[in-house]
């Protein structure tokens, strides 16, 4: 027990705490069972593999294992930072991720705002379904679709270009076009998923606010700016911070399916480099160090963005 405002307050007994926990579990047993697969997924594939980060500080040998491989300290980190191709891989990762954040992130917000303003419910549902469907396609299928559309011989885009009297453009082997292709394909595939999230946030806004604004003579743009945007600000901030946290995790499949020897210099990022050096080159310790470096950079960016958001908007994820 302890004294609070000159009153003696008794702390709950350990047995009482255990009893309350068991009662809570019994009461919400179905919810815990539903959450169990997700908890096991993160435990098996996110937390337990963290012990493997020790490989980054070893000359790892698959025959000697994690406990038998010699410790080498920061050797692999220094090798990577001094590697001649480090600047290219790092800059590609930064530039492509920055374009994805600046260009692709606002698209779902804009789509959600436009869909919310539609008054034809059936048409709204059709558009919502159409923009959401590509999310269920794998990157292999998405890559095949875009490669086919941009083909210099039979692609729709080049057919239009040739009909206008110009020579066909070899998009997939051009360093100039590969980054816009990566960003554009990502927007087409995932914009619908983000739109659903922001639409759900918009629906939760009290309709009486819009009714009062209409009575006061507020235009549609003013209603969006002064009611809708503040109403979804919490969701927007959380999604933005999560996006920043995964800033350097642009995605292996998303790039690898489009990458070839001609455009590699413009789109080779950490994920594709780790695949080439780690799995194909069997440099396990070296690529684990790269992955750890990428994660630390992402964590620092998240901490900076979270602190900045807390100061500017008083909203954050922790």
Is a pLDDT exceeding 60 seen at residue 137?
Answer: yes
Is a pLDDT exceeding 90 seen at residue 185?
Answer: yes
Query: Which pLDDT score, from 0 to 100, does residue 9 have?
Result: 46
Please write the tens of the pLDDT for every residue from 263-301.
999 999 999 999 998 888 888 999 999 999 998 998 899
Structure tokens at 112: 């959600």
Percent helix, percent strand, percent coil in the chain, to nearest 5: 75, 5, 25
218 inside domain: yes
Q: Which DSSP state fits 166?
A: -
Query: Which pLDDT score, from 0 to 100, does residue 3 have?
Result: 47
Give the percent of the chain with pLDDT over 70.
93
Query: Which pLDDT score, from 0 to 100, does residue 316 have?
Result: 80
Is a pLDDT exceeding 90 seen at residue 62?
Answer: no
108 inside domain: yes
Give the whole-angstrom CA distance, residue 187 versus residue 197.
15
Average pLDDT value for residue range 187-200: 93
3-state secondary structure of 58: strand
Is a pLDDT exceeding 90 seen at residue 315?
Answer: no
pTM: 0.84
- What is the residue-wise DSSP string for 215-239? HTT--HHHHIIIIIHHHTHHHHHHH
pLDDT band at 50 (very low <50, low <70, confident <90, very high): confident
273 inside domain: yes
Which has the higher per-residue pLDDT, 2 or 38?
Answer: 38
Query: Which pLDDT score, from 0 to 100, does residue 15 have?
Result: 52
Decide: 241 and 154 in contact? Cβ < 8 Å.
no
86 inside domain: yes
37 inside domain: no
Is a pLDDT exceeding 90 seen at residue 113?
Answer: yes
3-state secondary structure of 181: helix
- E strands present in the chain: 2-4, 7-9
274 inside domain: yes
Query: Which pLDDT score, from 0 to 100, does residue 14 have?
Result: 52
Give the whole-angstrom CA distance, residue 146 versus residue 140.
10
Number of domains in the chain: 1
Which has the higher per-residue pLDDT, 192 or 119?
Answer: 192
Query: Which pLDDT score, from 0 to 100, does residue 2 have?
Result: 42
31 inside domain: no
Query: Which pLDDT score, from 0 to 100, does residue 81 have?
Result: 86
Query: Which pLDDT score, from 0 to 100, does residue 117 have?
Result: 87
Query: Which pLDDT score, from 0 to 100, does residue 13 have?
Result: 52
Average pLDDT value for residue range 234-258: 91
307 is in which domain, residue-wise?
55-313
135 inside domain: yes
Handedness of CA 261, 56, 93, 271 (dihedral sign): positive
CATH number, domain containing residue 179: 1.10.3720.10
Give the percent of the chain with pLDDT over 90.
59
3-state secondary structure of 9: strand
Of the listed ranges 19-28, 165-174, 182-191, 194-203, the least confidently predicted one is 19-28
């Amino acid at each position: 027990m302890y004294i609070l405002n000159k009153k003696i307050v008794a702390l709950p007994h350990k047995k009482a705490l255990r009893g309350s926990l068991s009662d809570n579990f019994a009461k919400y047993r179905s919810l815990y069972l539903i959450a169990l697969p997700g908890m096991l997924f993160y435990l098996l594939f996110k937390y337990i593999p963290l012990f493997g980060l020790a490989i980054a500080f070893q000359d790892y040998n698959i025959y000697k294992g994690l406990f038998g491989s010699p410790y080498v300290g920061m050797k692999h980190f220094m090798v990577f930072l001094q590697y001649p191709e480090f600047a290219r891989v790092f800059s590609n990762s930064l530039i492509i991720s920055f374009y994805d954040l600046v260009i692709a992130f606002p698209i779902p917000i804009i789509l959600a705002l436009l869909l919310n303003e539609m008054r034809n419910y059936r048409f709204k549902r059709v558009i919502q379904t159409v923009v959401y469907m590509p999310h269920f396609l794998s990157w292999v299928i998405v890559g095949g679709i875009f490669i086919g559309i941009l083909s210099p011989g039979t692609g729709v885009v080049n057919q239009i270009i040739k009909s206008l009297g110009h020579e066909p453009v070899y998009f997939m082997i051009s360093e100039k076009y590969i980054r816009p292709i990566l960003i554009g394909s990502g927007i087409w595939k995932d914009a619908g998923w983000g739109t659903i999230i922001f639409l759900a946030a918009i629906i939760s806004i009290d309709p009486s606010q819009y009714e009062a604004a209409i009575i006061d003579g507020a235009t549609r743009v003013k209603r969006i700016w002064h009611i809708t945007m503040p109403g979804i600000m919490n969701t927007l901030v959380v999604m933005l911070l999560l996006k920043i946290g995964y800033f350097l995790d642009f995605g292996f499949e998303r790039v690898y399916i489009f990458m070839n020897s001609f455009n590699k210099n413009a789109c080779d990022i950490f994920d594709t480099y780790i695949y080439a050096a780690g799995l194909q080159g069997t440099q396990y310790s070296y690529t684990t160090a790269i992955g750890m470096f990428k994660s630390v950079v992402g964590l620092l960016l998240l901490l900076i963005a979270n602190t900045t958001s807390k100061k500017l908007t008083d909203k954050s994820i922790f």
